[in-house]
Structure 1
Amino acid sequence: MTHPEDREQQAAVSRLLLYHLNAPLSEGCRLRGVLPAPGAVRIAVHAGDDEEGVTFLYEIPHDVVAPAQIPGILRTTLAGTQLYSSDDVSDLMGMTLIRLRPERIIPTPEPEQGQALSVLRALSDPGDDENPFLIGFLMRGDGLLRLYVRHPDGTGIIGADIRPADTLTALIASLPSLVEEEERHRPAPDDPHCDLLVDLTDWW
């Protein structure tokens, strides 16, 4: 059985990778599962067509990387040719098990879509359906994401422009108070989906 701390790490990795059930981890590579193991998590990845492809099970130890680094480690691993020793490769449950050494792997940065998803997840509170903060969003290109959020007094919608690649946890936590600052407000003549705009691309 796995240790309670291992289970917490494994649950965190599962949450991070859920959206890859619909979006490839890398070209031609799709998530098939996240499996618990003592001191590690194992990521099942299917490469190729469903009928002719092969499924790999990548084992990543918890004591080397944080859960947030695992998607980047997988992107790097799947994007290039990797060399493994015979000690790192075996068969398990009909899959090829590969024990990764993540300290030797430079994580590939999150693509734009993944960065936007992280921000949107952080701002979505399913427990506040009657008074939601995030109303909608638009990925605008050039690394920009427009968030449509509820006006603090409840009378309208504010469009807040951010750059997900530069977004810090502090910005996400501060967004409700930042959109209240009237000196940041400007008209939105070209966007009929909001009443005001706030530019937070240079917040820090």
Structure 2
Amino acid sequence: MAEVRVRKFVTVVDEVLHENGPPPAQPQRRGAVLAVVENPFAGRYVEDIQPFMDDLRPLGLEMAQRLLKALGDDVSVIEGYGKGAVVGTAGELEHGALWHNPGGYAMREVLGDAKAIVPSTKKVGGPGIRIDIPITHINASYVRSHFDAIEVGINDAPRANEIVVILAMTTGPRIHNRAGGLQASEIKGEDGLR
């Protein structure tokens, strides 16, 4: 198992009080945790990169725990999640894909019984690049009220030889959601979709 070298962590939390309407009974909190890690494959092509997924697992768990704590340390209030990665310019998009497994499973483990697939995005870019992390309900991907995104970035990352890995969580639906569709109260919990 290779050492994952982390240069820095960044944690952000938004508290949404209203969106052009009356304040909701409960504000929505949206948070993300980002870790800037050294890309062990930067500047060269490596055929077998999958072992790095196992190396990233402990980091995924640490990040999920950090984010849960930043959002109040109460698993029962987390309703949405997502993940993403930004690969520095000496890397390739596939290096960011290595975050799918350790990032997603870390949040599912920390949250307990989350059933929905964790939505994801990735891109290649330089320092200061922004990325929208998609969010869906933790137990049913078709719950339209929880389709959301949180935009994140770091002014000095990723450097060419780095990857920024990201986890995001929310405490509820979009404020004033009224686009219809499956409601959270109607989730059957059978397949992670409905």
Q: Give the alignment's TM-score, normalised by structure 2.
A: 0.28
- Greater C-alpha radius of gyration: 1
Q: Give the alignment's TM-score, normalised by structure 1.
A: 0.28
Comparing both structures, which one devotes a greater share of its residues to helix? 1
More RCO (CA 8 Å, sep 6+): 2
